[in-house]
């Protein structure tokens, strides 16, 4: 048997349900060099330092070998999105994308969605009523954020299934498990990305000069002091917002319910006092973050971490979920405590690439959990652990079957 490196064990599908013992091993090592030359980092202090270190690039072009670390090399036929470039380019793109999305130019946009998010969540929760078996992913956690992000961007409802299909293929491309169908997966992911990009840029083009109040339209028609996004930039930004705008939230909601079902006391507590939900969401972002690791960092120069020199151009993999449970940072780090007060997690990353959509993800998850707790009485897990999705990066259950104790009886 070939030597099993830590990263192989983490990405191995068998570890998906519980990677945390491997993360503990990683923290022990602090810096774990892998056979392919990549470096894993997992303590709170090291991850924090590297996320704020200006010598660490997010642009894969700075890798000595763009294929190392199991990532898709950046496609050459499309400009990179802002998560794949560094400042000042990153800052310019992100600022342009932020203008219609958040403060200071659009401070009320996300808050203004509260009613709509609640409406969709209630409708979905209502459809669960009286059913004794539910798949929380298909019946709730997936359609909610998809409905919200498509509504926000201005994607017509009838196109949502197509968006779903493209997203699945793109996410499969993030699957770092080396396997037989690697090539096919990569090709499919690229094609899906291209398909989605063409579709979204078509939508945006149709709105140029005809503002319709949605985000795509705002991005296409905005002419601020920093100029505008080029059609190519607009296209990849839209793809990024659409995918990142729901893939992570699905997992946050699902991991959230799974965690609560595993902690009946916490569930009862939140049910009794929904005012505690915002704090519990922060704890979930620490305890079961939907983005487990950042695989695409690269040092621009030799960087020393814990006495180990990480050479310039090497793949640097920051394991956020390991840092989130560092016992040197948190008391009872492996305990889920919805009342925890000192929570400074990497659920949304940190530093310049800190998650753009965090306010939206928080809003959706708060509303989702509140509505679910209200709608479900006596929910119970059908299988634990549930079947997981393949990706070790965007980690979450593929299905989460829940049974409701039928009222009136036993």
61: contact with another protein by CB under 8 A: no
Under 8 Å between Cβ of 232 and 205: no
266: contact with another protein by CB under 8 A: no
Six token digits for residue 57: 């690039």
- Taking each helix axis from N to C end, the angle separating 114-128 and 143-153, rounded to the nearest 10 degrees, works out to 150
Out of 55, 67, 187, 374, name the contact with another protein by CB under 8 A: 55
56: contact with another protein by CB under 8 A: yes
Q: Which of residues 335-374 bind another protein (CB under 8 A)?
A: 351-352, 354
Out of 18, 28, 54, 133, name the contact with another protein by CB under 8 A: 54
Cα–Cα distance for residue pair 359/58, rounded to 1 Å: 23
User: Cβ 254 to another protein, closest distance in Å?
Assistant: 30
Instruction: List, in sequence order, every residue forming a beta bridge with 305; answer none if it has no partner.
Output: 308
Out of 17, 24, 49, 276, name the contact with another protein by CB under 8 A: 49
Cα–Cα distance for residue pair 306/293, rounded to 1 Å: 19
Q: Where are the beta strands (DSSP E) in 302-373?
A: 303-305, 308-310, 316-318
User: Cβ 301 to another protein, closest distance in Å?
Assistant: 4
| Number of residues counted as binding another protein (CB under 8 A) | 20
Nearer to another protein, 35 or 304 (CB): 304
Q: Which one of the spans 47-55, 197-205, 227-235, 374-382 is the region binding another protein (CB under 8 A)?
A: 47-55
Cα–Cα distance for residue pair 166/143, rounded to 1 Å: 15
Cα–Cα distance for residue pair 53/243, rounded to 1 Å: 27
Under 8 Å between Cβ of 59 and 83: no
Nearer to another protein, 85 or 293 (CB): 85
Q: Which of residues 305-324 bind another protein (CB under 8 A)?
A: 312
Q: Where are the beta strands (DSSP E) in 256-378?
A: 294-299, 303-305, 308-310, 316-318
Query: What's the farthest any 2 CA atoms get from each other in the chain?
Result: 67
Out of 276, 300, 358, 381, name the contact with another protein by CB under 8 A: 300
User: Cβ 344 to another protein, closest distance in Å?
Assistant: 12
User: Cβ 53 to another protein, closest distance in Å?
Assistant: 5
301: contact with another protein by CB under 8 A: yes
Six token digits for residue 314: 């090497």
53: contact with another protein by CB under 8 A: yes
Around Cβ 226, how many Cβ atoms within 10 Å? 13
Out of 4, 52, 133, 272, name the contact with another protein by CB under 8 A: 52
User: Cβ 58 to another protein, closest distance in Å?
Assistant: 8
Out of 1, 14, 76, 88, name the contact with another protein by CB under 8 A: 88
Q: Which one of the spans 83-91, 233-241, 322-330, 369-377 is the region binding another protein (CB under 8 A)?
A: 83-91
User: Cβ 299 to another protein, closest distance in Å?
Assistant: 8
Q: Which one of the spans 50-58, 105-113, 134-142, 280-288 is the region binding another protein (CB under 8 A)?
A: 50-58
Q: Which one of the spans 82-90, 145-153, 229-237, 355-363 is the region binding another protein (CB under 8 A)?
A: 82-90
Nearer to another protein, 300 or 381 (CB): 300
294: contact with another protein by CB under 8 A: no
Phi-psi region of 288 (alpha: psi -120 to 50; beta: other; left: phi over 0): beta
2: contact with another protein by CB under 8 A: no
- Tally of CA atoms within 13 A in the half-sphere of 145 that contains its CB: 31
86: contact with another protein by CB under 8 A: yes
Task: Report the C-alpha dihedral over residues 43, 47, 53, 59, rounded to 10 degrees.
Answer: 130
Looking only at the bridges linking them, the beta strands covering 379-381 and 401-404 are antiparallel
Out of 12, 25, 91, 135, name the contact with another protein by CB under 8 A: 91
Nearer to another protein, 347 or 397 (CB): 347
> In Å, what is the CA distance from 397 to each residue of 2, 171, 266?
29, 14, 20
DSSP string covering 42-108 = --HHHHHHHHT-TTEE--GGGSSSTTGGGPPPPPSSSPPPGGGS-TTHHHHHHHHHHTTTSTTTSTT
Tell me which residues touch another protein (CB under 8 A): 48-49, 52-59, 86-88, 91, 300-301, 312, 351-352, 354
């Amino acid at each position: 048997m070939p030597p099993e490196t830590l990263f192989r064990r983490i990405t191995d599908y068998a570890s998906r349900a519980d990677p945390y013992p491997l993360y503990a091993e990683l923290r022990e090592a602090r810096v774990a060099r892998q056979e392919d030359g990549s470096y894993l980092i997992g303590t709170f202090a090291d991850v924090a330092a590297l996320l704020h270190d200006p010598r660490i690039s997010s642009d894969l072009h700075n890798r000595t070998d763009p294929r190392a670390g199991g990532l898709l090399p950046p496609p050459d036929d499309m400009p990179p999105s802002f998560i794949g470039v560094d400042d000042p380019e990153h800052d310019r793109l992100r600022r342009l994308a932020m203008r219609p999305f958040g403060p200071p130019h659009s401070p009320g946009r996300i808050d203004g969605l509260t009613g709509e998010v609640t409406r969709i969540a209630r409708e979905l929760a209502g459809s669960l009523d009286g059913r004794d078996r539910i798949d929380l992913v298909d019946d709730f956690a997936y359609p909610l954020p998809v409905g919200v992000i498509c509504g926000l961007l201005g994607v017509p409802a009838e196109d949502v299934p197509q968006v779903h299909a493209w997203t699945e293929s793109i996410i499969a491309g993030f699957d770092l498990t080396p396997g037989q169908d690697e090539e096919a997966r990569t090709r499919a992911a690229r094609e899906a990305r291209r398909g989605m990009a063409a579709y979204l840029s078509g939508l945006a083009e149709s709105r140029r000069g005809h503002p319709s109040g949605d985000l795509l339209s705002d991005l296409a028609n905005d002419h601020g002091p920093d100029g505008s996004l080029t059609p190519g930039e607009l296209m990849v930004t839209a793809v990024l917002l659409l995918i990142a705008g729901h893939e992570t939230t699905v997992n946050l909601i699902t991991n959230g319910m799974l965690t609560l079902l595993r902690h009946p006391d916490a569930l009862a507590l939140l049910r009794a006092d929904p005012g505690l939900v915002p704090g519990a969401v922060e704890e979930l972002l620490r305890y079961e973050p939907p983005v487990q690791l950042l695989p695409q960092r690269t040092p621009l120069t030799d960087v020393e971490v814990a006495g180990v020199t990480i050479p310039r151009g090497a793949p640097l993999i920051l394991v956020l979920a390991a840092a989130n449970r560092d016992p040197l940072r948190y008391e009872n780090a492996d305990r889920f405590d919805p009342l925890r007060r000192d929570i400074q997690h990497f659920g949304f990353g940190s530093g310049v690439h800190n998650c753009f959509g965090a306010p939206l993800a928080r809003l959706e998850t708060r509303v989702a959990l509140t509505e679910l707790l209200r709608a479900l009485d006596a929910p119970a897990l059908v299988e634990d652990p549930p079947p997981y999705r393949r990706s070790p990066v965007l980690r979450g259950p593929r299905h989460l079957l829940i049974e409701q104790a039928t009222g009136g009886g036993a």
